[in-house]
Amino acid sequence: MLPAIEEVFRRLIKNQSLSFKDFAGIAVGFAAIVDSRTGRVLSTNGKYDDAKSIDLAVWTRDTFGLSLRIENDARMALLGESVQRPAMHMWRNRLCRSRGLRMGAPWDREGLARSVK
């Protein structure tokens, strides 16, 4: 799967006449329990189980020369909403409900999402 991801990224960058030097990093929302501080997938509920054994941050750095920020996909949606709607930072606690194959509802208690930029 990683070679296919690399190929798609390289094609997208080339088609837009850009270079990886134009980017500060790559952000990924992953349908799993993720340790965003270390960039590691901890548990996948049986889906993409091999992701637990891959250091995606190292792979991203070695492959693209970029840093990686990985979050649980539902939490990534919450962070995106926080960026899109700055007024959300006034709220101390936030809940973002997302629906896909499974239901996700990250809860930002005490405004911790504000620390992620």
Domain range 2-115, its CATH number among 3.30.420, 3.30.980, 3.40.50, 2.30.42: 3.30.420
Band of the pLDDT at 88, cuts 50, 70, 90?
low
Most confident of 3-7, 67-71, 84-88, 109-113: 3-7
User: Which among 57, 44, 95 has a CA at the least distance from the CA of 112?
Assistant: 95
Q: What end-to-end distance do the CA atoms of the chain give, in Å?
A: 28
Q: Are 77 and 96 in contact (CB under 8 A)?
A: yes
What values do phi and psi take at 29, rounded to 5?
-100, 120
Q: Alpha-carbon distance 53 to 75, whole Å?
A: 22
pLDDT digits (tens, 9 = 90+) for 19-69: 999 999 998 888 888 888 888 888 887 778 888 898 989 999 999 999 998
- Crossing angle between the packed helical segments 56-64 and 2-15, to the nearest 10 degrees: 40
Query: Is the pTM of the predicted complex or chain greater than 0.75?
Result: no
Degrees to nearest 5, angle at CA 36 with 106 and 8: 100
